[in-house]
Amino acid sequence: MREITATVLENKRIADEVYSLTFAADDEIAVRPGQFVMIGVGGYPLRRPIAVCKSEGERITVCYRLKGDGTRSLARDYKMGEKLSVLLPLGNGFYVKDTEKKVALVGGGVGIFPLISVIRAYSKSKELYAYMGFRNRAAFCMEYDLAQTKKIAVATDDGSLGFHGTAVQAFMREYDEVRPDVVLSCGPVPMLRALKEAMKGRNVPVYVSLEERMGCGIGACLVCVCEKTNGAHARVCKDGPVFEIGDVVL
Ligand SMILES: Cc1cc2nc3c(=O)[nH]c(=O)nc-3n(C[C@H](O)[C@H](O)[C@H](O)COP(=O)(O)OP(=O)(O)OC[C@H]3O[C@@H](n4cnc5c(N)ncnc54)[C@H](O)[C@@H]3O)c2cc1C
């Protein structure tokens, strides 16, 4: 993990309230799929955690949805050439074993972004089946990256694009046909709970990336602690953000 001063190369709107930010680090940075960065914005003391979507040498791209003051400042104040203080790379990330050939990706909302990094890492070596949920057609993005999978199903809450329903419902409709070796997921907690329920008894590993509120991002402040099913606790930033779905209380 390093703290760098990055230079903004591009920061553009890609969908309704969604932006794509590419910055240049000071050196080449190796990032695993599912890892994240902590970005310092607008002079706020707490950095904001954002998943890495793409990394190529020293260029890193993250995508973010406008939420509160931090992400609004990021969209408004950081144009090309501005400097950003960034901690990276953080967290454990997703691993896919050699024996796991068919990989299902189930993402909802901003949870689709860490899964884009999985697509970029594995689109040539694995069969990827993506089930991605958006609020509506206006929120849809990442079309090019999603098209690199073997099969993509888009779901929207209001039915304005693709399947009318959630990404989990879209996935379970095709489950018997696809029979994945592993499922990787990220999205709002109700979505992850629905996935846990739907996958019960199927004997397929499911890994979820949690998007808890974070303070430091490096395991020191304990703001992001989550409860494990064995009664222990884990730091989402340092021990996660990716966990086996059966190991964490959702
Ligand atoms: C590992 C990880 C990866 C993430 N990846 C993405 C991503 O790729 N794209 C994206 O749009 N969002 C992502 N998020 C959520 C993102 O961090 C929050 O939306 C963002 O921090 C909100 O900041 P804000 O100042 O705009 O909102 P505010 O609500 O004003 O934030 C206030 C404080 O609460 C924290 N906070 C608020 N909501 C969240 C949340 N859901 N998760 C974590 N911290 C929160 C902020 O860090 C900040 O310190 C991720 C979160 C985590 C933990």
Q: Are residues 68 and 112 in the same domain?
A: no
Q: What average pLDDT does the structure give for the chain?
A: 95
To test the pocket of ligand 1, the residue of 14, 32, 214 to mutate (highest count of ligand atoms within 8 Å of its CB) is 214
Q: What is the pTM of this model?
A: 0.95
Distance 100 CA to ligand 1 centre (A): 31
Q: Are residues 77 and 106 in the same domain?
A: no
Q: Are residues 137 and 203 in the same domain?
A: yes
Place 194 in a pLDDT band, splitting at 50, 70 and 90: very high
Ligand 1 pocket check for 245: Cβ under 6 Å: no
The DSSP call for residue 217 is: S
Q: Residue 136 sits in a domain of what CATH number? A: 3.40.50.80
Ligand 1 pocket check for 75: Cβ under 6 Å: no
* Residue 218: inside a domain: no
Provide the domain limits for residue 176. Answer: 102-209
Q: Which tens digit of pLDDT belongs to each residue from 146-170?
A: 999 999 999 999 999 999 999 999 9
**Contact by Cβ (8 Å): 114, 51:** yes
Place of tokens 């489950």: 175
Q: Are residues 114 and 70 in the same domain?
A: no
Mean pLDDT of 184-192: 96
Q: Which of 112, 161, 107 is nearest to 136 (CA)?
A: 161
Q: Which tens digit of pLDDT belongs to each residue from 216-235?
A: 898 888 888 999 999 999 99
Q: Which of 247, 215, 240 is nearest to 91 (CA)?
A: 240
